[in-house]
Amino acid sequence: MIGLTYIFGIGNTTAHKILEAAGVSEDIRVRDLTPDQEEKIRSQVENLKVEGDLRREVSLNIKRLQEIGSYRGMRHRRGLPVRGQHTKNNARTRKGKAVAIANKKK
């Protein structure tokens, strides 16, 4: 199960559902899988949007928000938090390293 979560777009819940649908035990290691089990898991994963396709869809969604000029699109463009967080004191991860204002001291 843990091996599946290394794929972008597959978390614990999705990995659990994939293994359940494929009829594979959750505590089996990847190296111990039979070719038949691998094929069942592969066929389940092919039905999902993962890796490059998912990354492309997310970036296109953000680009669309920016093009239509929505509030969320503007926040993405400016590099600020998108989901309503306060930014007076925090949001350092999103805003980047603090830049000192020159000649502010008296």
Q: Tens of pLDDT along 74-93?
A: 999 999 999 999 998 888 89
CATH code assigned at 18: 1.10.8
44 and 8 share one domain: yes
Q: Which domain holds residue 57?
A: 52-95
pLDDT confidence tier of residue 104, bands split at 50, 70 and 90: low
Burial of 18 (0-12, 13-18, 19+ CB in 10 A): buried
Q: Which of 86, 87, 104, 85 is nearest to 96 (CA)?
A: 87
Burial of 66 (0-12, 13-18, 19+ CB in 10 A): middle
Provide the whole-model pTM: 0.75
35 and 70 share one domain: no
